[in-house]
Amino acid sequence: MKATVETFGRLDVLINNAGVVDSGPIESFSETQWDHIFDVNVKGIYLMTAAAIAHLRASDDAAIVNTASIAGKLGAPNMSAYCGSKWAAIGITKSLAREFAADGIRVNALCPGIVGTAMWLDHLMEGEGEDAFETRMQDTIPLGRPQTTADMGQGAVYLATAPNVTGVALSVAGGIDQ
C-alpha cells in the first residue's frame, strides 16, 4: 500500500484477486490443505482490506472488488474447502459493503464462471486437454462457451467504477449459476 500511494499519490481501488484451489473428499482432505485455501482465499481479503482501508477512506471514489466464484454460490462435490472459502468471500463482501457504506466505499464481489486457466486445465480437468475443456463448456454453460480473462476484467472494471453498486456478487458465468 505504501509503494502504491507513494507512486500514484492515492489509492482508489483495491482488487483482492489471489486464489488457490484444491479438491477431494472431505474425509481425505488434510487440515493443511484446508488451511491453505482459507489463508489465501479468505484471510487474504482481510489482510489486504485492513492494509488499504485508511487509504481508501481518503479517496472520494473508492471501491473494493473481491474475487469470489460461482462455486461460492453453487457448491460442488469434493470442493467443500474451495466452495466454502468463496462463500466466505461473498459474505465478507456483503458485510464490508455495509460497514464501509458510510465512508462512501463500495465493496463488491466478482464471481467468475469457468475460465480456461491453470485452475481448470491443470487441476479440475487434469490431463483432459483444451479440446475436452471446450466440449465440456459447450455442454455445461448455457451460453455454450467458457468465460475469458477479458470477461473478468470487464466485470472488475464495472464493479470498481459503478457509483451506486455495492454489496453485490456479480456472476460472469455465461448463465451457469442460474
Annotated catalytic residues are 82
Rounded (10°) CA dihedral 118, 120, 123, 129: -90
Cell readout for 99 is 460497514
Which one, of 165, 169, 156, lies nearest residue 13 by Cα?
156
CA neighbours closer than 13 Å in the CB half-sphere of residue 178: 9
> CA-to-CA distance for 28 and 19, rounded, in angstroms?
22
Which one, of 114, 106, 91, lies nearest residue 42 by Cα?
91
Is the separation of the CB atoms in 110 and 149 below 8 Å? no
- 3 state DSSP class of 168: coil
> Using the 8-state DSSP alphabet, how is residue 9 labeled?
S
